[in-house]
Amino acid sequence: MGVQLGDLIYRRKISLKDLSGKTLAIDAYNALYQFLSIIRGQDGRPLMDKEGRTTSHLSGLLYRTANLVEAGILPSYVFDGEPPKLKRLEIMRREEIKRVATAKYRRALKEGRMEDVRTYAQATARLTDYMVSDAQRLLSLMGTPWVQAPSEGEAQAAHMAARGDVYAVVSQDYDALLFGAPVLVRNIAISGRRKLPRKKAYVEVEPEIVELKTVLNELNLDRSRLVYLGILVGTDYNPDGVQGIGPKTALKLVTQYESFREIREHLKDRGIFRVDPEDLVKLFLEPEVTDRYELRWMAPDIEGVVAFLCGERDFSEERVRKALDRVGLGLKKAGERPTLEKWFG
């Protein structure tokens, strides 16, 4: 879900060329869920190998990484660790959504309503432990660095960007801004034409960039107040926010009051928070992160990737080798840039 700040935040359209020569930290779970949701057959089922193991996430990871590296971009992926206890309610909510969507998907498939089949199937996506292990194995074989976060991947990616180890965080969610990411990039994993749900219409989805400094200046806020705003409209930890409070009203409140305690007192008749908002403030401003990571891009182990994807997961060898050729060429060009020399092993 993520925090719903899109109506307030200035986003600048960019192209992949604008990110050439940049290093990025990608929210791995965010990207993998997108691949699992979107890369499906006509019957709504994800891609699978002959053993019945899902491979949609590996397909998306291979080709998206190849596209980025070919464009001169050096991606790294950050994987979630143990979710904060405060996220328990959201995890339960998501599981219920998947359960309901699964039932609707099966009914639609039985009745031959193929447009509904596709819609409901996307909402059933689940990322399992073996899928995560497969994704990490593929990245290692491709020479693409990945980082294991102690807790939230977005928090870790934001920390890496704040330290200057990467240029930006890549995620669809705006939570990275609350975690302090100086630059957020959206829509790189889903750029192109996208069909609107239940409509015979498409919209163009283009990469866009959001700069925290610009957001704070435009809204006349500091980061603490941006966190307050996010909590009022709803985050992954309190999905419902405060009843009747939208982004514009929330902005007015955080501008009017000095502390969240005062805001809470003002809203005491509007309902209660399902989690302590003071704990949420601390989670965003002081997240659990680590400095124990290394970012090094290496030439891909071509035969290792082929053995894994083609020998074990039934990918087309020709297509895999072509994708890896693009990775190798992109890394060679990037390695020739003086500003990027330190990133190569």
Could you please report the per-residue DSSP string of 196-213?
PTTSS-EEEE--EEEEHH
Q: Does residue 239 sit within a domain? A: no
| CATH code of 164's domain | 3.40.50.1010
Q: Model confidence over 5-63: pLDDT tens digits? A: 777 888 999 999 999 999 999 999 999 999 998 898 888 889 999 999 999 999 999 99
User: What was the pLDDT predicted at 8?
Assistant: 85
What value does the mean pLDDT of the chain take? 88
Q: Model confidence over 131-141: pLDDT tens digits? A: 999 999 999 99
Q: Model confidence over 84-132: pLDDT tens digits? A: 887 776 777 777 878 887 788 788 777 778 787 777 777 777 889 999 9
Q: Does residue 53 sit within a domain? A: yes
Q: Does residue 16 sit within a domain? A: yes
Structural domain of residue 211, as residue ranges? Answer: 12-218
Q: How far apart are CA 156 and CA 161, in angstroms?
A: 9
What 3-state class would DSSP assign to 285?
Answer: helix
Q: Does residue 118 sit within a domain? A: yes
Q: How far apart are CA 208 and CA 172, in angstroms?
A: 10
Q: Does residue 305 sit within a domain? A: no
How many structural domains are present in the chain?
Answer: 1
Of the candidates 197, 173, 253, 220, the one whose C-alpha atom is nearest the C-alpha of residue 5 is 173
Q: Does residue 172 sit within a domain? A: yes
Q: Model confidence over 178-187: pLDDT tens digits? A: 999 999 999 9
Q: How far apart are CA 264 and CA 232, in angstroms?
A: 10
User: What was the pLDDT predicted at 192?
Assistant: 59
User: What was the pLDDT predicted at 18?
Assistant: 94
User: What was the pLDDT predicted at 91?
Assistant: 73
Q: Is the pLDDT of residue 191 over 60?
A: no
Q: Is the pLDDT of residue 190 over 70?
A: no
Q: What angle do CA 333, 190, 300 make, to 5 degrees?
A: 35
DSSP secondary structure letter of residue 223? H
Q: Does residue 127 sit within a domain? A: yes
Q: Model confidence over 239-290: pLDDT tens digits? A: 777 878 888 999 999 999 888 888 888 887 666 677 788 899 999 999 999 9
Q: Does residue 137 sit within a domain? A: yes
